[in-house]
Amino acid sequence: MPKNNTIKTKRKTTTKINKQIKELERKPEPKKSYKILKTAINNPENLTNHIPKIIKLTKTTPWIVKHDLTTALTYITQQHPTQMTPHLPKLIETLEQDTTTRNNTLHILNIISKKQPQKINEYLPKIQNHTTDNETKLHTTQILAEITENHQIKPKHIKNLSLQNKNQQITKNTTTILKNTSKHNPETIQKYTNELINQLNHKDDEIRINTTQTLKNIAKHNPQKITPYTNQITKKLEDPRWRARANTTSTLKYIAKHNPQKITPYTNQITKMLNEESWVIQADAAETLKYIAKHNPQQLTKHIQKITPQLENQSISVRKEITKTIKHITNESPETTKPYTPQIKKLINDNYNEIQLDAARILKKLGHTKPIQKLDKIDKKRL
């Protein structure tokens, strides 16, 4: 189409829409507002320059006209979210003043939050005031979930959250908010610990993964808060999703670091995690066993056959933690680790100095003198 014809078409369209809006201003009627809605559905780009007037018209009556116009704004936002952001103050004003269009307005804010969460952040206090029913809760929790994905928010903005809603999507949104917030402010999420524990057996995979990650973040900050729930948490080592198992293994690691005696009864379950495919899980399980061995080495002696194969693990982290575990066992019960001397000797040539040192100390405890020379050599290098 020639350029001049395109300009003429645009002018004609603009004139037509201006006429429709003026008619609405003069007499708000559903058949007139429906024309605007139809344009928004089929050609939302034709309405982007008319957003301020449409927002202003949403304050008119009757209700069906308001609904058509806020729905039209929703369609415009879906295709052109950046065109709507300059008008956020007016949208928030509408949100606060008109309950009849609240869900549509929240839906618009929800769409913007997915594309430009930082633009919505400053309006959170006003958005948070509107959680009276499940539909508004659905939108507000979705907005918070989008914002917290990449932005920190103030603790007061999550004060009305609850995990006791039967709506699965709201629960999913809420666990996402708690997970995201717990990365930066775990202390503000601690009060939800009991509710989180109740979500550990949820049928939805994402909710369980979010929950286990939040508990992990709380445990890292304050393991004492999580310790009373060790039994329920340990059961998630058998979760079908590996991320939930990984989060759970990390949580138990943090508990074991400060309260190894609380984890000792679950040594068998943790030892099984050494057979996981993920090195992350293996490493956390190995570190947990190290803390147990340091506190109660006797508890690990009966698992020695399952532990020692990990001395050849490809992961440095796993080898390091298992070597330390065996060192603690050897200090208490050298006769238990003596049969595994050949495997321990191989570690003298490990690429990682700390593993070499621990292997040399184990062998020294087992009565071997040659490793002492190796130990001295490594120590000189470190000095």
Q: Tell me: the pLDDT tens digits for 22-50?
A: 999 999 999 999 999 999 999 999 999 99
Q: How many domains does the chain have?
A: 1
- Concatenated DSSP letters for 30-62? HHHHHHHHHHHHH-GGGGGGGHHHHHHHTTSSS
Residue 92 lies in a domain: yes
Residue 243 lies in a domain: no
Residue 77, Ramachandran bin (φ over 0: left; ψ between -120 and 50: alpha; else beta): alpha
* Two structure tokens written together for 155: 């603790």
Which pLDDT score is estimated for 356?
A: 93
Query: Tokens 């009991």 belong to which residue?
Result: 194
Which pLDDT score is estimated for 5?
A: 61
Residue 54 lies in a domain: yes
Apex 361 CA angle, 367 and 368, nearest 5: 20
Judge contact between 55 and 90, C-beta under 8 A: yes
The pLDDT profile of the chain, 383 residues, written as one tens digit per residue, is: 455 566 677 788 888 999 999 999 999 999 999 999 999 999 999 999 999 999 999 887 788 999 999 999 999 999 999 999 999 999 988 888 888 888 888 899 989 988 888 888 888 888 877 667 788 889 889 999 998 988 888 777 777 788 988 899 999 999 999 999 999 999 999 999 999 999 999 999 999 999 999 999 999 999 999 999 999 999 999 999 999 999 999 999 999 999 999 999 999 999 999 999 999 999 999 999 999 999 999 999 999 999 999 999 999 999 999 999 999 999 999 999 999 999 999 999 999 999 999 999 999 999 987 666 666 666 555 53
Which pLDDT score is estimated for 152?
A: 83
Residue 305 lies in a domain: no
Residue 180 lies in a domain: no
> Whole-angstrom Cα distance, residue 243 to residue 123?
34
Which pLDDT score is estimated for 383?
A: 39
Contacts of 365 (CB under 8 A, 6+ apart): 327, 330, 331, 334
Which pLDDT score is estimated for 372?
A: 61
Residue 80 lies in a domain: yes
Judge contact between 40 and 75, C-beta under 8 A: yes
Which pLDDT score is estimated for 259?
A: 95
User: Could you tell me the residue range of the domain that residue 86 belongs to?
Assistant: 6-115
Contacts of 245 (CB under 8 A, 6+ apart): 236, 237, 238, 239, 273, 276, 281
Residue 378 lies in a domain: no
Q: What 3-state class would DSSP assign to 123?
A: coil
Residue 155 lies in a domain: no
